[in-house]
Structures are given as C-alpha cells and as structure tokens.
A and B are shown apart, each in its own frame.
Chain A
Amino acid sequence: MATKILMPALSPTMTEGKIARWLKKEGDTITTGDVLAEIETDKATMEIEAIEDGILGRVLINEGVEGVAVNTPIAIVVEDGEAVPETDTVSDAPTTSAPAPAAASTASPATAPATPLSPTEPEQDWGETREITVREALRDAMAAELRRDEDVFLLGEEVAEYQGAYKISQGLLQEFGEKRVLDMPITEHGFTGMAVGAALTGLKPVVEFMTMNFAMQAIDHIINSAAKTLYMSGGQMGCPIVFRGPNGAAARVGAQHSQCYASWYGHVPGLKVVAPWSAADAKGLLRAAIRDPNPVIVLENEILYGQKFPCPIDEDFILPIGKAKIERAGTDVTIVAFSIAVGTALDAAAELAKQGIEAEVINLRSIRPLDTATIVNSVKKTSRLVTVEEGWPFAGIGSEVAMQVIEHAFDWLDAPPVRVAGEDVPMPFAANLEKLALPQSEHVVKAVRSLI
C-alpha cells in the first residue's frame, strides 16, 4: 500500500525546514534505514531514514525548497510493482492522520488552589512543659520517631560514633544500632542520592547535613530527585525524607559557612520547609517532618542549639507543618520572623513596649507552606508590617511575606512594609563586621519607628 512520507519534526522547536538534498530518486528501491533525504532545520542538517521497505514512487517536494512545514507530504513510497497513486488518495505515513487530542485545553484554564485566609484554629494546649535545649528537643524528636517507626533511619557525617558534629544525635547509635544510625563518608552528593533512592521505595531517611551549606553539594538530589518525582510519576512515587542541619550564620565561621537557605528551598514546589526557633518548635516540627510523606527541609540554627525553652512533656507532642505561632500579641505593628530572628523580634518588641508601641510577633515556624492567614489577619489588625530574617534581602522570605500582605491586605496597610534582613554581602569574618551584617533588635526597633 502506498504511503506518504511527511516532513518530519527534527527538534523540539522545529516548525518548518528545507529539503536540502534527496539522496534517493523516483524509482529507487529503498530499505529500512536508508537515508532518503537531508533536511535543514534552523539548527542542523539532519538525515531522514526510510522506516519501511519499498520504492520511492514520487518526490512531492524537490530539493532546495525552503519553508516546508512539518507534516507536509514530501514523497510517496509504494510497494514493489504497485502503481504510483495520486497524492490525495494516499494516507499519511506512518499511521492515519493523528486526531486532535480530546483536549480540555481550550476549556477555562485551571485555577490554582486559593490561599486559605480564614482564621486558623487556636494552637492545641499540650499541658505541662519542661525547660530543655533545642539540641535535646531535636534528639528527642528523632529518638521518638525512630522508636515509633522501623522505616525511619538517620544518616549523615559523624552522626553515629562521634554522636553528631553538634551532638544532636547523642545516644542514638547506642539505642538504635548501626543499622538505623549510619555514619556517612564526606560525600554529600552520593549519600543524599542514596537516601532519596531509599525514600522512593518507602523508607523514611533523616539526612543530617553537618551544615546546610554542605547540602549545596547535594541540592540536585533534593530538588530534582526528591521534590519533583511525585509529580513526574503522576503521583505514584512519593519521597518521605527529611533533610536537616544548621542553617544561617553561626559565629565567626565566614562566608561559606554562614548562609540562610530558607528562600532557596522555599522556592521549590514539592518541598516543605520548616525553621524552628524554640525547643518546642524543634521537637514538634521535626516529629511532623519525619512523619510527613513529602520531602521536608528542617532549617536549624547552631546558636539556638544550646538555648533552653519550655517544651511540652506530653509523649505525643507534635506540631502541624504550615502553621505560624503568635509569640507575642500586639496591636500596633506585625513583626514576622523565623528561626533565630524570632528572638531578635521579641527583643525588639520588649524595647518597643517601653516606648509605648505594642508589636505582634509572628514566628513563622513553616516557610513552605506559608501561613499567610495568620500574617494577613494580624496585619488587618495592626496595619503595619516588618519582616526580620538573617538571610539576604533580595528575593528573601521577607519579600514574599510582604507581597502576600500586599495581595491580601493592601487596603489595611497604613505604611509600606519594611524588610529587616542580613546585609547584601557575603558574611565577613571580623567580629564587628559580622555583627553589622546581621539584623539586630535595634534595626527592628528602628524599622518599626519608621512606620509609626
């Protein structure tokens, strides 16, 4: 049966091309794999091969013709002994012409899920608390989840025998053994990929990075392999994994060890990102992160590790991911912060109170999803917004928080939002310069005073 050869699409973007040269002429016998012609695209000259045996019955478009649209018939192939039919009686090779997809694409475009802005439920009261350090809270969270679920395991550099570079995993090797608490060589790219692969099968790894700076060696696996696979697999393959470690500045550790990644990871659909401040945040959010069926980034802070906070003693204590906490109620300005900057914001609020200004301080706890409702509802009350973060200002979390407020509470604002952020420079080493590079409570006070 005669078939038409159509002008092929030879690249993702090709719409037309030129028949540069015919290598077979009418009447030639052709066998599968023979080069029939050369097609010039905008990028290259490509050969087209015969896909079935036969005889080149007729050339419909001669060589040298430019601007031949993709899918235009360019030749007719017949079987041996078959007469060459008229063009319009021949079906298009290699199958019947493709029906237009039964697409709903012309229907109204899909709408993204709306940001929920209804007031959130008050936080559960977990009862009695005890003062513990953030370090203990993180260790207790992992120990509780390791006890609860055999599929949970911890891996990272120095997490087992050394008991953690920052002593977060103290005692875990002794309780859970080397099968579930694994020292890794200094090979972030490799062990992160390994952990993601294990998570794709349903295991629940907790990957400790000695600092989040080192996770940049492995960021391809965090984003391309962990965050995107659920979507790329049409929902078949989730990746229940936790990536955790100290984030942001410590003290005098220089530019390569002092960077905040909240904005980087917060940018990525498919990830959840939490940034605990207190011991309760650390315990409740890490437990939730380990139980979450998605990849969760836990941005800890080295300076907070040794700080004590009251933490519920209830064995079931856990916090929801995606809910902010109002750490201090106020009426005059909303200060939004996360991680160590919550402390900075609370210090500023105490100072402002002396000056007769009542600030409401929101501890984000979760960067992604962001608790826009709590922020917006607060700004509707205070009409002013200041954000505080250690990270750089450009495209930072403060920028996103301010934009959410502009989108959802523009008419309530009495003044433009103000961002207090780390200075837009790599972190300097000198003690005085480092202090100048990081947001201090007096910066926050000044920012608030500029609004009132």
Chain B
Amino acid sequence: METTSEQVGAVGGNGPSLTREQFLTAYHDMLLIRRFEEKAGQLYGMGLIGGFCHLYIGQEAVVVGIQMCLKDGDKLITSYRDHGQMLVAGMTPRGVMAELTGRATGYSHGKGGSMHMFSREKNFYGGHGIVGAQVALGIGLAFANKYRGTDEVSVAYFGDGAAGQGQVYESFNLAALHKLPCIFVIENNKYGMGTAIERASASHNLYKNGEPWGIPGVQVDGMDVAAVHAAAAQAVAHCRAGKGPYILEMMTYRYRGHSMSDPAKYRTREEVDLVRKTRDPIEHVKHILLDAGVEEATLKAMEAEIKAVVNDSAEFAQTSPEPDPSELYTDVVLEA
C-alpha cells in the first residue's frame, strides 16, 4: 500500500508557485477573511456578537489555497472556527455576519450562531462545536460521494487539538478501509485552546498519524498559499482518482486567542509578533504581487472594495431584525 509522508514548502521557503492571477485571487480572498474577522472582533467587543466567537486571523492561506483546488460539488466541513471556510465556499459576508449577530437574515436564521452555519447550496456542512465530530461526519460526506458514484471529494478540517480525539482515528480507519475521497486537513496552529501541541500529543508529526492505515500525509507551510495550493492539488488528485483519503498537516498560526475571551497567556507577545512580522500569509503574497509588477494602486483598490463589502456586511448584520419569536419552534423536525 502506498504510504508517503513528507514535508512540503519549508517555513519561509520557496514553495511551488502560482500564476499572477491566482496570487491576486488568493490575496483578495485572504484579505476578505482578515478584514471580515477583524470586523467580527470589533462587533464582539461592542456586544453585538454574543457567546463564543473563534477568529481565523493568521490562518487564511490554508482555506484559500485549498479552495482554489476544489470544484462545484466538493464538500466542506469544519469545526467552530468556521468563518474563513464559509467565505471561501462562496457564502455571502452578509449572511455570515448576520448569523454572528443572531439575526433573521443569517444563514441559520439566527439559530446557529458563529459555530453553527451551513449552506446546502455551497456544500458547506458546518460549523460543528464538538471537537473532532466533524471528522467522522466528514468521512460520511466522502462516503456519500462514493455511494453516488461521483468524483467529488470532501474536505474535513480540524485542529491540532482535535487530532487527539479517538473518533479521528476511527475515521482514518474507515476512510482507508472504504477508500473514501476525504482530505483530512489538520490546521496545526500550535495550540489546542491553551495547550501547546508538545504538551498534548506524543506524536509531533501529525501528518504521519495516518501511516498505520496507509494514508499518505504531507506537512505544509500553511502560511504560504502557494505551498498550500500545491499540496492540496496533489491531495485532490489522489482522492478524485479513487485512491482513498489523504492528510494535509498545515503548519499555521492564529494571531488571536482561542476564542474572544481567551487572554492567550500561554504564549508570549513576542512569539505572536514574530509570526506576524515574518510569516504573515497576506503580507507574503502582497510582496510577491508588488515584485511581479502589480501596481500598488490595484491592491489599494482591492482593499477598498473589501473594506466596503465588510462594512456593508456589518451594517446589514446590525440592522437586520432578530428572528421572529415563532422561529423558536420551527426547524425542530421536518414534516414526514
């Protein structure tokens, strides 16, 4: 059985490249996530978003690089840190932000919140609050692809924290046993809430965790969108060809706390600043674009457009009505 585990795109290294157009798209999508999340953080601070809110800032290259390799019909599922996935899946910033503020115009009519959004239309299957649950559900999405005889793939995102859950390994086994077209994306941002990976996992190379089942895995510089794209392209091709599951360990970093109420005292300010200054996925692409001769004005215009979209989503999310009280009792069961 094929078993290859390797490292791709060393940190700060020169991963395989993208075209100028692809870099522009990546820059746009990553910046949209960054600005959207900053705005969500602001609205949270104003008390307009309640409960839990887990921001994706710092990890943008992961979802953007992978999404560039997918096609319509491919299915996505992730944890509660889900805003970035939804935006790249094509869900509207308005609908996502309005769900964050718990309004009727949100994707779940205000009944899901930050952690629980879905889009049948965009094949986004949530938004799950139980750590690791999305992995078993994710192989179910892949099972459905195979059952229906399509070449669609499923992408199940989870963090380094979730990688310790038993059901992840049950899922590895089932996916390998049934050759399910599932890409397991481990977003290793180094901390499962406040516990550093070294303190949580005796396995320090999560991309190798599928080896007992013969699942190929690669470790990727998740701050480098081109490296992410290259690795994802390989994984997608493997799955589409019916060769079974694939593991991508994305070495990434979240700039903010685990959730809004996390003071992040388990790491130093200097550590965060160093990543921000030396490995930021958006600044990295910006430099590539400027070096490639893209006008600064072009990027400024893109930034202005994104700012307007995000502000519009925030305005929409604040002015939309709360769900009607009658919504309390709808969507509990479907009529048989």
Interface residues of A (CB under 8 A from B): 6, 8-12, 14, 33, 35, 41, 43-48, 51, 70-71, 93-95, 98-99, 101-105, 107-110, 112-113, 153, 179, 184-185, 187, 189-203, 220-221, 224-225, 229-238, 269-270, 272, 288, 291-294, 321
**Stretch from B12-20, B61-69, B231-239, B316-324 at the A interface:** B316-324
Across the interface, name the chain A residue whose C-beta is closest to B42.
A94
Partner of B170, one of A190, A232, A269: A190
Given contacts A101-B322, A102-B321, A234-B108, 13 further A-B contacts (CB under 8 A): A8-B46, A46-B263, A108-B325, A110-B326, A190-B139, A193-B135, A193-B140, A194-B143, A229-B118, A232-B112, A232-B126, A234-B111, A237-B120
**Which residues does chain B contribute within 8 Å of A190, judged by CB atoms?**
136, 139, 167, 170-171, 173-174
CB distance from B46 to the nearest CB of A (A): 6
Partner of B325, one of A12, A105, A195: A105
Q: Sample 9 A-B pairs with CB under 8 A, ordered by A number.
A: A12-B50, A12-B51, A107-B325, A194-B137, A200-B141, A229-B118, A231-B332, A236-B120, A294-B336
**Which residues does chain B contribute within 8 Å of A185, judged by CB atoms?**
173-174, 177
> Please, how many angstroms separate the alpha-carbon atoms of A94 and B138 in the complex?
37
Partner of B322, one of A9, A46, A71, A103: A103
> Please, how many angstroms separate the alpha-carbon atoms of A109 and B41 in the complex?
31
- Contact present for B333 and A95 (CB under 8 Å): no
Partner of A234, one of B45, B112, B322: B112
- Contact present for B108 and A98 (CB under 8 Å): no
> Please, how many angstroms separate the alpha-carbon atoms of A108 and B326 in the complex?
10
CB distance from A90 to the nearest CB of B (A): 15
Partner of B140, one of A101, A195, A230, A269: A195
Across the interface, name the chain A residue whose C-beta is closest to B263.
A44
- Contact present for A194 and B174 (CB under 8 Å): yes
- In chain B, positions 107-141 with a C-beta closer than 8 Å to chain A are 107-112, 116-120, 125-130, 133, 135-141
CB distance from A249 to the nearest CB of B (A): 29
B38: interface (CB < 8 Å): yes
Q: How large is the interface on B (under 10, 10 to 19, 20 to 34, 35 or more residues)?
A: 35 or more
With A197-B141, A200-B125 as known contacts, state yes or no: A70 contacts B47, CB within 8 Å. yes
B279: interface (CB < 8 Å): no
Q: Considering residues A9, A103, A234, which has the most beta carbons from chain B within 10 angstroms of its beta carbon?
A: A234
**Which residues does chain A contribute within 8 Å of B136, judged by CB atoms?**
189-190, 192-194, 196-197, 221
B54: interface (CB < 8 Å): no
Across the interface, name the chain A residue whose C-beta is closest to B107.
A234
CB distance from A151 to the nearest CB of B (A): 8
Residue pairs across A and B with CB atoms within 8 Å: the count is: 228
**Which residues does chain B contribute within 8 Å of A93, judged by CB atoms?**
42
- Contact present for A235 and B174 (CB under 8 Å): no
Interface residues of B (CB under 8 A from A): 38-39, 41-42, 44-48, 50-52, 75, 77, 101, 103, 106-112, 116-120, 125-130, 133, 135-141, 143-144, 147, 166-167, 170-171, 173-174, 177, 255, 260-261, 263, 265, 269, 273, 276, 311, 314-315, 318-322, 324-326, 328-336
> Please, how many angstroms separate the alpha-carbon atoms of A399 and B206 in the complex?
49
Per DSSP, are chain A's interface residues mostly helix, strand or loop, or mixed? loop
- Contact present for A189 and B329 (CB under 8 Å): no
- Contact present for A235 and B331 (CB under 8 Å): yes
Across the interface, name the chain B residue whose C-beta is closest to A44.
B263
- Contact present for A101 and B103 (CB under 8 Å): yes
> Please, how many angstroms separate the alpha-carbon atoms of A199 and B143 in the complex?
10
CB distance from B137 to the nearest CB of A (A): 4
CB distance from B170 to the nearest CB of A (A): 3
Partner of B261, one of A10, A48, A95, A109: A10
- Contact present for B109 and A234 (CB under 8 Å): yes
With A45-B263, A95-B315, A102-B322 as known contacts, state yes or no: A71 contacts B46, CB within 8 Å. yes
- Contact present for A11 and B140 (CB under 8 Å): no
- Contact present for B133 and A220 (CB under 8 Å): yes
CB distance from B214 to the nearest CB of A (A): 15
Partner of A187, one of B41, B128, B173: B173
**Which residues does chain A contribute within 8 Å of B45, judged by CB atoms?**
6, 8-10, 48
> Please, how many angstroms separate the alpha-carbon atoms of A71 and B44 in the complex?
11
> Please, how many angstroms separate the alpha-carbon atoms of A202 and B144 in the complex?
9
**Which residues does chain A contribute within 8 Å of B325, judged by CB atoms?**
104-105, 107-110
**Which residues does chain A contribute within 8 Å of B129, judged by CB atoms?**
224
- Contact present for A231 and B324 (CB under 8 Å): no
- Contact present for B331 and A10 (CB under 8 Å): no
- Contact present for B133 and A201 (CB under 8 Å): no
CB distance from A241 to the nearest CB of B (A): 10
CB distance from B212 to the nearest CB of A (A): 14
- Contact present for B108 and A233 (CB under 8 Å): yes
**Which residues does chain B contribute within 8 Å of A102, judged by CB atoms?**
319-322
- Contact present for A187 and B170 (CB under 8 Å): yes
- Contact present for B334 and A238 (CB under 8 Å): yes
**Which residues does chain B contribute within 8 Å of A193, judged by CB atoms?**
133, 135-137, 139-140, 167, 170-171
Partner of A99, one of B314, B319, B331: B319
> Please, how many angstroms separate the alpha-carbon atoms of A265 and B297 in the complex?
60
CB distance from B178 to the nearest CB of A (A): 8
- Contact present for B334 and A294 (CB under 8 Å): yes
- Contact present for B144 and A201 (CB under 8 Å): yes
- Contact present for A95 and B318 (CB under 8 Å): yes
**Which residues does chain A contribute within 8 Å of B119, judged by CB atoms?**
236
> Please, how many angstroms separate the alpha-carbon atoms of A48 and B257 in the complex?
12
Partner of B332, one of A14, A197, A220, A269: A269
> Please, how many angstroms separate the alpha-carbon atoms of A294 and B110 in the complex?
21
**Which residues does chain A contribute within 8 Å of B103, judged by CB atoms?**
101
With A94-B39, A195-B140, A270-B333 as known contacts, state yes or no: A9 contacts B44, CB within 8 Å. yes
Across the interface, name the chain A residue whose C-beta is closest to B45.
A8
- Contact present for B260 and A10 (CB under 8 Å): yes
> Please, how many angstroms separate the alpha-carbon atoms of A12 and B48 in the complex?
11
Across the interface, name the chain B residue whose C-beta is closest to A240.
B334
Across the interface, name the chain A residue whose C-beta is closest to B315.
A95
**Which residues does chain A contribute within 8 Å of B328, judged by CB atoms?**
110
With A190-B174, A220-B130, A233-B126 as known contacts, state yes or no: A51 contacts B120, CB within 8 Å. no
